[in-house]
Amino acid sequence: MIKGLVITPPALGRISIGRVVEKNRKRLPEKDDQFTITSQVQTREGWLPHPLDEQLRQEQGGKIRSIPVRLLFNDPALNFRAEYTLFDRNSGRPLCVGNGETCKRSTNEGIQSFPCPSPDGCPLAQGGHCKPYGRLNVGLSEDDPLGSFVFRTTGYNSIRTLTARLSYLQALSGDRLACLPLELRLRGKSTRQSHGTPIFYVDLILRSGIGMEEALQQARQLEQTRQASGFDQQALDAAAQLGLTNGAFEDSEDEAHQVLEEFYPESGVASPSSDRPRSPQNTPTLHELILERSHHMQQHDAAANADISSGATQ
């Protein structure tokens, strides 16, 4: 295994709420009240729909509000990875990833670990640069038990709901999360900040028409069938854990453009048919500013420790 490269679950496509449209020669995200399932191929007109998208639209009357899924792993944290993430808005690459206790940060000396006070208490996160960011991998087809579709989100409602559901379902099923018949469900709510306009988020529930007792029985039977055939779920979870911890940052440079399109519309991502505006050479990028600020913080900490050591010897 190549060291330093995060090995993520194999992806066959994407799941999103909304789409990216072109306005004034810039590609900007547009909110929607339905799911969209796309392939991994993007053209000048946008992401190409996956065949499952049209199939579900026909079954649900034109709008996809629920998607039948299965999870790949029993460990909730392998199915859904969520951290505080600071992205470089010029390149889309992650600069700092933390969990509220510790973080990994790109510095002049390479990737280093620091305390993570969460965005509210971090000087590097000022201006809303750092936000919760989650990636959920789910299986949509029985044809490829290891292939997955990725749902990315920076929404608090989706992250909180998915985290809670995964934890509860794992406990209720006796650690048979990968065997439960589940579905993604689109839900709406209004908040004071939305001024009465509904906002949509993603929930993970038992598949429609299946009660809890029946779902648990199906999960137990599927687990027994898999074990009888030699399917080793525990080893699969261990392999996935090893791959996800093989590097510092999960998102690759190939996915940087997607991050900018979906979560940083204010950065003004240029469309493939137009030239992306360039910053003057004498204007530092966000990455350079982060590295400079991180370097100053390290110098400050070193000076403070020196003062403490000096005081202790006097």
- pLDDT tens string, the chain, 314 residues long: the values are 778 888 999 999 999 987 766 677 766 667 788 999 999 898 877 789 999 999 999 999 999 999 999 999 999 999 999 999 988 877 778 889 999 999 999 888 888 999 999 888 888 887 777 889 999 999 998 889 999 999 999 899 999 999 999 999 999 999 999 999 999 999 998 877 766 788 899 999 999 999 999 999 999 999 999 999 999 999 999 999 999 988 778 877 667 667 766 766 555 443 332 333 333 334 344 455 555 555 555 554 544 444 433 344 34
Output the pTM of the full model: 0.80
Give strand pairing partners of 136: 80, 151
Contact 99, 116 (CB under 8 A): yes
Residue 35: half-sphere exposure toward Cβ, Cα within 13 Å: 31
The pLDDT score that the predictor gives to residue 90 is 75
H/E element, 37: strand 26-43
The pLDDT score that the predictor gives to residue 291 is 54
The Cα–Cα gap between 271 and 259 comes to 14
The Cα–Cα gap between 210 and 165 comes to 16
- DSSP 8-state secondary structure symbol assigned to residue 274: S
- Give the other-Cβ count within 10 Å of 14's Cβ: 19
Please state the length of the chain. 314
Give strand pairing partners of 17: 35
Spatial neighbors of 278 by CB under 8 A, at least 6 apart, are none
The pLDDT score that the predictor gives to residue 26 is 67
- ∠ CA 235-239-240, nearest 5°, is 120
The pLDDT score that the predictor gives to residue 237 is 98
- DSSP 8-state secondary structure symbol assigned to residue 67: E
The pLDDT score that the predictor gives to residue 273 is 29
The Cα–Cα gap between 132 and 141 comes to 29
Spatial neighbors of 188 by CB under 8 A, at least 6 apart, are 33, 198, 199, 200, 201
- Report the amino acid identity of residue 18: G
Could you tell me how far CA 270 lies from the centroid of its own chain?
23
The Cα–Cα gap between 310 and 314 comes to 7
Let me know if 160 is exposed, middle or buried by CB neighbors in 10 A (0-12, 13-18, 19+): middle
The pLDDT score that the predictor gives to residue 227 is 97
